Structure 1
Amino acid sequence: MNRWAVGIIMMVLIIAGIVYAIYQANDYDFNDAIKSYKIINKWEMPEELREISGIYWLNDNRIACIQDEDGIIFVYDLKSSRIVKKYKFAGPGDYEALTFLNGSFWAAESNGRLHKINNITGPEKDSEVVELDFEYRHNIEGLAATSDGKLLLSVKDRNLDNRGDYKGIYAFDPKTAELNYSPYLKINYNDPAFEVLKTNNPRLLIRPSDLSFNPESKELYVLDAEFQKILIMKGTGKIKEMHLLDPAEFTQPEGLCFSPSGRMFIANESLGGPANIIELKILKKK
């Protein structure tokens, strides 16, 4: 057996080990009996978007995407299944989330740096950068715009106050350039909705990878890539519904967005296969 064959076999074993680890990390056995969603469509991403991390609906079946490593907004056309535009707004970084507010795109890096991109249809240029008083260990992963002009930021790891009994979502006001260190919303680890997970490990309860408002219900949806699921939140911070996602279908869900009509999309990073965008519909629980 030549070295190429050995290398291929080793790579297959590594990928299989990663996928197996994902399943073992979850304390439940996913099956169709607990599935509360329906997959409508699926698009495999090109190699440039293998690290897709944030998405935002544009128009005419086009979705704006960012990936972890480069400061580029990619416009992906769902009808033609291809990238139709690229807009470079910054250099290399760790870009995790994308949203749109008051005529500008906003991209977040995990270390707390926000990029304001005013016009992706014009010539490429550097973005306006906002440096938050933020520690890397907090790890921003999600970004969403509120109806009153705020940006919501979700932290994947430590809360801004380093407390460990909830996961905080925080508000940033672009007009005043102020980050409110008191949580806009708390997802409490003792919420009864988490009981089905059969674990007290905060890492498995919720580590948000993105968040977005449903334009029809106005409810905040929180995505989790660690223990694949979607939380639908009440305004009080309590969990209204929790929808578990099949790890075989959502290997690493990192991005979430809605169309104005309520179509829902989740982006999965490449893990054991091509990255993808999946359109899904939440089903009414019986």
Structure 2
Amino acid sequence: MKYILANIWILIFAFAMASCDSAKADYPAQDDSKKEGKKKKKAKIEETASSKVEVVKKWNVPAILTEVSGIAYLGKNQFTCVQDEAGVIFIYNTTTRKIERQITFGAAGDYEGIALVGKTAYVVRSEGKIFEIKDIHASTPQVTTYTTPLTAKNNVEGITYDARHNRLLLAIKGKETNSESYKGIYAFDLKTKKLLPNPVVKISLNDPQLAATNSKKPDKAIQPSEIAIHPKTGAILVTEATNPQIFILEPSGKIKARYKLNSSEFKQPEGMTFSPEGELFISNEGNKQAGNITQVRLTL
């Protein structure tokens, strides 16, 4: 009798386990289908990259420059570079692929861009503070700091030298202080060493070229990460890192053209500079991979 009861319990247990396995086998298929449905809803269609942007050459930079946030063409295959966290200018040679020199000018901070005016470098921090480093070739360059009315809320991300007007142009990524209808580009006068109170260029957040962003927040319609001026044509270029692309601006701020960048080639374009001949270079922050400097051929 005990033997018969034992067999019955074994059969019941086996049947229960089989039922559980069957239920488990059915469950994942239902769960996966739900997950796939959610993924499809969240998935965004990648915009086709512009055929007018061509990668000519690319140089991966050393690990210390993985977070390279700004570059300026120095000459003879050399670039001055800054990165997000250190108050240091790195002189990088694309031929030797090495950092040839480091110039410490400030404490740790969120440094976003660099511009060269002759032998003098100007570095901007995200809260709008500008560092002037005189004669970067000297053993101990003189450093002067200028505070501007711009703040961390404005989030300054770009700086370039405007030779025609002897000034620096600063592009903000964050919110405009006095308006929600435009995003300004500000000028720092190199004669007075002061920031002009009003933007010299206003990018309308209702510009038709920004319709593709489909942003629910007006100030997110365009988020400049760098600014540069073509040395021959005077065209103003602005990059965006959150949605990799390049904007060509008219002096009024109207967007003349918009070029979508290939996101696999330009993961996070944070820096931009021209050579005197008009060669365009863009630096990309690397995050989990190597940062780089990319030479670009752009059909304007």
Q: TM-score, normalised by structure 2?
A: 0.81
Question: Which whole-Å deviations, capped at 9, do the CAs of 1:191-210 have from their partners, x for residues lacking one?
Answer: 12223444454355211111
For 1:169, the equivalent position in structure 2 comes to 185
One-letter amino acid of the counterpart of residue 260, structure 1 = P
Could you tell me which residue of structure 2 aligns to residue 182 of structure 1? 198
Aligned equivalent of 1:57, options 49, 73, 76: 73
Letter of the 1:141 counterpart: E
Tell me the secondary structure at the aligned position of residue 235 of structure 1: coil
Match of residue 158 from structure 1: 175
For residues 167-207 of structure 1, the C-alpha deviation after alignment (integer angstroms, 9 at most, x for no partner) is: 11111113223222211101111112223444454355211
1:29 aligned to 27, 31, 46, which one? 46
Contact 1:203 1:226 in 2 (8 A): no
**TM-score between both structures, scaled by the size of structure 1:** 0.85
Residue 122 (structure 2) aligned to one of 106, 117, 121: 106
Deviation at 1:27, TM superposition (A): 5.5
Local SS of the residue matching 1:194: helix
CA distance in 2, matches of 1:204, 1:115: 28
- Asked if structure 1 preserves the Cα contact closer than 8 Å seen for 2:203 and 2:253, the reply is yes
Change (3 A) 1:246 1:273: same
Superposed, 1:219-234 pairs within 5 Å as 219-234=235-250
Asked if 1:213 corresponds to 2:242, the answer is no
The one-letter amino acid paired with 2:242 is E
Structure 1: 5+ residue runs without aligned partners? 1-23
Instruction: Trace 1:34-53 onto structure 2 (pairs within 5 A).
Output: 34-53=50-69
How big is each residue's C-alpha offset from its partner over 1:63-90, in whole Å with a ceiling of 9 and x where there is no partner? 1101111111111111111111111112
Consecutive unaligned residues in structure 2, runs of 5 or more: 1-40
The alpha-carbon distance between structure 1 residues 207 and 142, as it changes in their structure 2 partners (threshold 3 A), is same
Assess if the C-alpha contact under 8 Å between 2:242 and 2:268 holds in 1.
Answer: yes
Cα–Cα, structure 1 residues 205 and 28, in superposed 2: closer, same or farther, change >3 Å? farther
CA contact (8 A) 2:129 2:147 kept: yes
In the TM superposition, what is the alpha-carbon distance from 1:277 to its structure 2 partner? 0.8
Q: CA deviation at 1:103?
A: 4.1
Q: Structure 1 residue 160: deviation in Å?
A: 3.1
Residue 193 of structure 1 aligns to a residue whose secondary structure is helix
1: CA distance between counterparts of 2:159 and 2:42?
26
Larger radius of gyration: 2
The Cα offsets for residues 233-263 of structure 1, whole Å up to 9 and x where unpaired, read as 1112111111111111111110000101111
CA contact (8 A) 1:35 1:246 kept: no
Letter in 1 for 2:176: N
- C-alpha change, 1:125 and 1:260, in structure 2 (3 Å) is closer
Amino acid at match of 1:165: S
